[in-house]
């Protein structure tokens, strides 16, 4: 089980969190202007790296806030831990 460093509550068990996938995916500024291909990219295509991955988590069973962390998908280590 991951020990997830919530920025407000500190490290908590993964079971308290909801996963939100890749971070920094902005809603298109002008959706109507998008081509089908651009719309597909926005809807369906996300990064899937083996390595550093910035991702969204929500502390649903705690403070209920969303936040962004960077984790290594090959090792499971969060960057704040790696640097600690």
Partner 1 sequence: MRDVPPQPERLWTSPEPKRSYDVVIVGAGGHGLATAYYLAKNHGVTDVAVLERGWLAGGNMARNTTIIRSNYLWDESAGIYEHALKLWEGLEEDLGYPLLFSQRGVLNLAHSLQDVRDGVRRVHANRLNGVDAEWLGPEEVKEVCPIVDVSPGVRYPVLGATYQPRAGIAKHDYVAWGYARAAAAMGVHLIENCEVTGVEVVDGRAVAVHTPLGRIAAGKVALAAAGHTSVVAETAGVRLPLQTHPLQALVSELLEPVHPTVVMSNAVHVYVSQAHKGELVMGAGIDAYNSYRQRGAFHVIERQMSAALELFPVFARAHVLRTWAGIVDVSPDASPIVGLTPVEDLYVNCGWGTGGFKATPGVGWCYAHTIAHGEPHPLAAPFSLERFTTGALVDEHGAAAVAH
Q: Which residues bind partner 1 (CB under 8 A)?
A: 1-2, 13-15, 18-19, 21, 36-37, 40, 43-46, 48-50, 53, 55, 71, 73-76
Nearest approach, Cβ of residue 67 and partner 1 (Å): 14
Residue 15 has, within 13 A of its CA and on its CB side, a CA count of 1
DSSP-derived secondary structure letter, 36: H
Question: How far out from the chain centre does Cα 83 lie?
Answer: 19
Q: d(Cα 4, Cα 13) in Å, to the nearest integer?
A: 6
Which C-beta is closer to partner 1: that of 58 or that of 63? Answer: 58
Q: How far is the CB of 49 from partner 1 (least distance, A)?
A: 8
């Amino acid at each position: 089980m991951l020990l997830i460093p919530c920025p407000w509550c500190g490290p908590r068990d993964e079971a308290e969190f909801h996963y939100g996938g890749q971070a920094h995916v902005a809603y298109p500024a002008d959706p109507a202007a998008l081509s089908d291909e651009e719309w597909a990219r926005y809807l369906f295509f996300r990064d899937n790296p083996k390595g550093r991955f910035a991702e969204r988590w929500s502390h649903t069973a705690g403070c209920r806030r969303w936040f962004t962390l960077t984790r290594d998908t090959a090792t499971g280590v969060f960057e704040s831990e790696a640097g600690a």
